Amino acid sequence: MTEEILDKKACVAAMLPVTDALEVLRGKWKLAIIVSLLHGTKRFGQIAADIPKVTDRMLSKELKDLEMNHLVKRTIHNTFPVTVEYSLTEHGQTLRGIITELRIWGQAHRDHIIAKQ
């Protein structure tokens, strides 16, 4: 087997889980929702209040996606009117490290780009 093929295989194999991770976090509001929920359990309206400009439709959709990926837990309370609580699952909490890394790198990148101008 030639070296290029090995390289290609290694490249593809290395990408798969990275792509998986990005797929899950994809969507304009997903990270914002997770960051909001890192501060604790919240209701639909409270998350909306945390995130400027998100619409009900998008918040609802993104929360559903996150729930499907077992990152967010949805709890319905039989009050009237109905209240719904959202919280991060244990698995969702494991994103904290990545978010911290992204924040540090993003800040460094911003500094870097500004310095070049």
Partner DNA sequence: CAGTATCCACAGTGATACTG
Partner DNA sequence: CAGTATCACTGTGGATACTG
Q: Which residues bind DNA (CB under 7 A)?
A: 26-29, 43-46, 53-58, 60-61, 63-64, 74, 81-84, 86
Q: Which does 114 bind (CB under 5 to 8 A by kind): a copy of itself, DNA, none?
A: none
Choose between 41 and 107: whose C-beta lies nearer to DNA.
41
Q: What is residue 43's DSSP assignment? A: E
Task: Kindly state whether residue 93 participates in binding a copy of itself, applying the rule CB under 8 A.
Answer: no
For the chain, helix (H) and strand (E) counts, in that order, are 6, 3
Task: State how far the Cα of 26 lies from the Cα of 15, in Å rounded to an integer.
Answer: 16
Say if CB 72 and CB 63 are below 8 A apart. yes
Choose between 74 and 103: whose C-beta lies nearer to a copy of itself.
103
